[in-house]
Amino acid sequence: MSEREGWPEAPPLEGPPGEEDEAPEAEVEEAEAEVDDAAPAPEEQDEDVVVAEPAQHAAGDFVVPDGYGVLEGTPQGGRRAVGIVVSRFNGAVTGRLLEGALAELESAGVAREAITVMPVPGAFELPIAAMALAKTRRYACIVALGCVIRGDTPHFDFVAGEAASGLQLAALETGVPVAFGVLTLEDADQAGDRLEKGAEAVRTSLEMADVFAQLRAAAQR
């Protein structure tokens, strides 16, 4: 008798091995349909919803508590001489800034003969021009006007940053107020809503000149 004689016979296979593990095609499709039905549908966005832009300034007025001495200037021209350095680059914008600055100086009572305008090639040259005017000690304050528009290269960041730091340095080294009236724009279309910057820079410079004058007068008492 061979070794296989007397062994129970293996049950016959109904199909090829592994076939019984495969789910019927209909059952697979039905399962996929159930998954699709269970998945939440994406919420539809209301086309009328407008996303509000973040506020550029905090609302409210600044108040000094009672009982403290306050030394505060006012944007009055009087007999003060004012120097203006302005960039010729992007002249369509800087020309409008200059117009607004000159109109504000006239409203503040600064005579035309007391105003000196120094055009320079671009915003990068504003700091050295402001420094030169301030060092003459002929001007109570300096107004710097310019416009830098972002392009496809890092040029914007270098020029805008150097203009800002250089103008601040001119004020710190000379003690003469230098107002920053340089627009830094993503594109030229943004200039229209920011042309008030020229007049704003004038008010800032006159206020700082006035408070410095008050400080000097108080120190001499």
- Which residue in this structure is represented by tokens 């914008």? 93
Q: Alpha-carbon distance 166 to 120, whole Å?
A: 15
Catalytic residue among 155, 173, 188, 196: 155
Assess whether 155 carries a catalytic annotation: yes
In angstroms, the Cα distances linking 95 to 8, 48, 86 are 106, 39, 8
User: Which two tokens mark 1?
Assistant: 């008798």
Cross-strand bridge partners of residue 117: 84
Residue 47, helix vs strand vs coil? coil
The set of residues, in sequence order, having a beta carbon less than 8 Å from that of 178 and lying 6+ positions away, is 130, 134, 141, 142, 143, 144, 167, 168, 170, 171, 205
CA–CA separation, 66 vs 215, rounded Å? 20
Alpha carbon distance 221, 218 (integer Å) = 6
* Residues assigned a catalytic role: 155
